[in-house]
Structure 1
Amino acid sequence: MGYIRSAALRGFADEVTVHGGDPAAYARAVGLRPDALLADDVLVRDEAAAQLLELAAHALGRPDLGLRIARRQDITTLGSLAVAIQHSPTLGDALDCTSRYLFVHNGSLSVRLGGDPQGERGVAGLHYGPAGEGLVQGTDMGLAFAHGVITYLHGGPYGLLGVELPYRPAAEPAAYEAAYGAPVTFEAPGTAAVLRLPQALAGHRLAGVNATLRRLALAHLAAQTPLPGTGGGTSARVRAAVRESLGTGSVEIAAVARLLAVHHRTLQRRLEAEGTTFGALVDEVRRGEARRLLTGTDLPLAQVSAMVGFAEQSALSRAARRWWDAAPRAVRAGAAPDRVSWGTLEG
């Protein structure tokens, strides 16, 4: 069982409501908390999310529901990954970044740029999977979302040559062709859905790239990647949950356990088996986020304190002394001169 950020369901509630459905009732029916539909950073079971889409599509008589929801989403759905993607030098770099760090958004999905399934010269394939018969609304939504992101990064149509789906269409074929503006092949061989792209598209340079913003975003994403050989599956999920909760919600173990859909004692045992504790992970995440904010932005110290989950600035000062044997101002003063202002980060 894997987990995804609830941001992947952004637009679901609005689309369902437009068609007279009750999104909260559908969420409860598949075991999801209804409030997950109103937030971006709740961790939800991927299987439950897929079942939610199928249930709603059937109940509403909207077999193109996944395609419709994708139209309501944009690149910001990807959270911190969106910053790294938008500030990649080329579209190929953006796709490579997506392939490497997509697990932060959806731990059970993979996206990679590979060969053309038809073997045509000068054509590449963006392989999205796994995909197959059964719960297809999620794939319909996800692949159409990927198409929309590429269109956005390219600044308009990018020359999509065709789409290959390894399953029968849930909706009328015309709905798929309207969504992509290209021919769509159904029941294609393989286990991935594929966007067929011009190979030269990978070299397309993106506009408005800020190398410093990309470096900060990549550092943030890399911090969520388990070290090779450490296992750390539960630890990695806890780090991600804590990082998203800092400054916005409780970082108590009971609250994080609810996000991960496990009992807090079970979570404690799993962390102990990986040689760590919840408190140690919270401290590790706080330390990393504090250093990133101190050395990478010019945010006021009071705001940095709040963003890493401290009630008062004095708590940040004590922690900084323990972590680095230095005051927060000294840590900031010793940083490289390419700090980015918060206004730049927001823009």
Structure 2
Amino acid sequence: MRSAGLQRFRETVEGLGGDPARYARQAGLPVAALDTDDLLIEDTAIAAVLEIAAVALRCPDLGLRVASAQDLSMLGPLAVAIQHSPSVGDALECTSRYMFVHARDLHVSLIDDPEGAPGVKGLRYAFGAGVRPLPQATDMTVLFVHRAVTFLVGGGYGLRSVDLPHRPAAPRQRYEQAFGARVRFGRPEALLRVPASLLGRPLEGVDATLRSLALAFLSRQAPEPGSPVAARVRAVLAQALGTGSTDLAGVARALAVHPRTLQRELAGQGRSFAEILDGLRRSRAHTYLTGTDMPLAQVSRLLGFAEQAVLSRCARRWWGTSPSALRRAARQ
């Protein structure tokens, strides 16, 4: 998950007198994740740091507090596509299709109302197959979704009720104050029950060009499941390079296949995992070395190399020269 999922966590915790860096370390999170948006971090660690902080601060509504301080910008390019969708329905479809760019195992989708009420839909939040998220993370995410819809339509949208799968962490009235609707606990799924008419509601201030650019960017981040496996491997590596796992096992886990299966599928296309990773690193290295003044040590880190000497060896293999020489030639 992108570390943007922790937007406003530091400010909220410090406002309550807590130490966000200490809680991050206890949860196994890099402290840098508190202050930057694009580190790839374990989603379970985000859930853990919220629970740890809530207990330490004796603040059972911490997830609600953090969500109340967050805004749509947390979703990065996806936020641009959502804001410039022609209708709420289009915005939700876009969210469902491209949420993987923000979080690989987080899913937001529309379903039929579980109560069978006419004219009502369920806006469901799910977190991986068979996984039940911890309460604070669930509270934070579901309230964020509610606030995002409220922002898109410019006010209330007729929320019928809220279903949460856990017992209330804070008093019930605190939840109902945050959502402005009835909240039910211990339900099978986390969802917002919304009027079906909401889907056709047009959004104002839409820029079709901005939306097209955002969608083009999002579509390049990970091709559709039917795309060649080499393209999907490269897309996962492109997101993880320099911030997450770039080994075969990690990429196979992101694509929900066994590592040996992934190797066989790549071999069937005449490709190898090492070749794809090397090609991506070469492309990124050329961009960093010829288009920026970034120090070589930083370039090495962004390519996922343990030390600068590895970059030097690769540069001589790729271009027959050193990184510094390549940069000088580009400037000339």
TM-score using structure 2 length = 0.75
Question: 8 Å contact 1:116–1:123 — kept in the other structure?
Answer: yes
Q: 1:40 aligns with which of 26, 37, 40?
A: 37
Q: 2:223 aligns with which of 213, 222, 226?
A: 226
Look up the match of 1:167. Answer: 166
| Distance change in 2, residues 1:176/1:262 (3 Å) | same
Q: 1:55 aligns with which of 46, 52, 63?
A: 52
Residues of 1 paired with 2:290 and 2:101: CA distance? Answer: 21
1:9 to 2:2 alignment: no
Look up the match of 2:81. Answer: 84
Look up the match of 1:217. Answer: 214
**Aligned residues with identical type, % of pairs:** 46
Letter of the 1:85 counterpart: I
1:110-146 per-position Cα deviation (integer Å, ceiling 9, x unaligned): 0001111111000011000139766111110001000
Letter of the 2:42 counterpart: R
1:310 to 2:294 alignment: no
1:269-304 per-position Cα deviation (integer Å, ceiling 9, x unaligned): 9898536433422566799xxxxxxxxxxxxxxxxx
Question: 8 Å contact 2:237–2:246 — kept in the other structure?
Answer: no
Question: 8 Å contact 1:98–1:111 — kept in the other structure?
Answer: yes
Question: 8 Å contact 1:128–1:194 — kept in the other structure?
Answer: yes
Residues of 1 paired with 2:49 and 2:79: CA distance? Answer: 25
Letter of the 2:47 counterpart: A
Residues of 2 paired with 1:68 and 1:29: CA distance? Answer: 21
Letter of the 2:49 counterpart: L
Look up the match of 1:324. Answer: none
Question: 8 Å contact 1:239–1:282 — kept in the other structure?
Answer: no
Displacement of 1:208: 0.6
1:191-235 per-position Cα deviation (integer Å, ceiling 9, x unaligned): x31101010000000001111111110000000123425446653
Question: 8 Å contact 2:87–2:202 — kept in the other structure?
Answer: yes
What SS does the aligned partner of 2:90 have? helix
Letter of the 1:206 counterpart: L
Residues of 1 paired with 2:167 and 2:275: CA distance? Answer: 46
1:151 to 2:150 alignment: yes
Question: 8 Å contact 2:220–2:235 — kept in the other structure?
Answer: no
Letter of the 1:73 counterpart: Q
| Distance change in 2, residues 1:161/1:77 (3 Å) | same
Residues of 2 paired with 1:18 and 1:179: CA distance? Answer: 19
Root-mean-square deviation (CA, aligned residues, Å) is: 2.8
Residues of 1 paired with 2:52 and 2:229: CA distance? Answer: 35
Residues of 2 paired with 1:8 and 1:309: CA distance? Answer: 33
What SS does the aligned partner of 1:44 have? coil
Q: Where do residues 1-347 of structure 1 align in structure 2 (5 Å cutoff)?
A: 4-130=1-127, 135-188=134-187, 190=188, 192-227=189-224, 228=226, 230-231=228-229, 235-241=234-240, 256=242, 259-261=243-245, 273-274=272-273, 276-282=275-281, 310-311=291-292
Unaligned runs of 5+ in 2: 252-258, 294-332
Letter of the 2:107 counterpart: S
Look up the match of 2:328. Answer: none
Unaligned runs of 5+ in 1: 243-255, 288-304, 313-347
| Distance change in 2, residues 1:282/1:202 (3 Å) | farther
Residues of 1 paired with 2:6 and 2:118: CA distance? Answer: 36
Residues of 1 paired with 2:250 and 2:125: CA distance? Answer: 33
Residues of 2 paired with 1:19 and 1:37: CA distance? Answer: 16
Residues of 1 paired with 2:205 and 2:18: CA distance? Answer: 40
Question: 8 Å contact 1:90–1:203 — kept in the other structure?
Answer: yes
Question: 8 Å contact 2:86–2:206 — kept in the other structure?
Answer: yes
Residues of 2 paired with 1:161 and 1:266: CA distance? Answer: 41
Residues of 2 paired with 1:49 and 1:20: CA distance? Answer: 20
Displacement of 1:169: 1.0
Residues of 1 paired with 2:283 and 2:88: CA distance? Answer: 33
| Distance change in 2, residues 1:98/1:283 (3 Å) | farther
Question: 8 Å contact 2:127–2:133 — kept in the other structure?
Answer: no
1:2-33 per-position Cα deviation (integer Å, ceiling 9, x unaligned): xx100010111111111111000111111111
Q: Which moved more, 1:58-67 or 1:131-140?
A: 131-140
What SS does the aligned partner of 2:79 have? helix
Q: Work out the number of aligned pairs and report it.
A: 273
Residues of 2 paired with 1:201 and 1:266: CA distance? Answer: 39
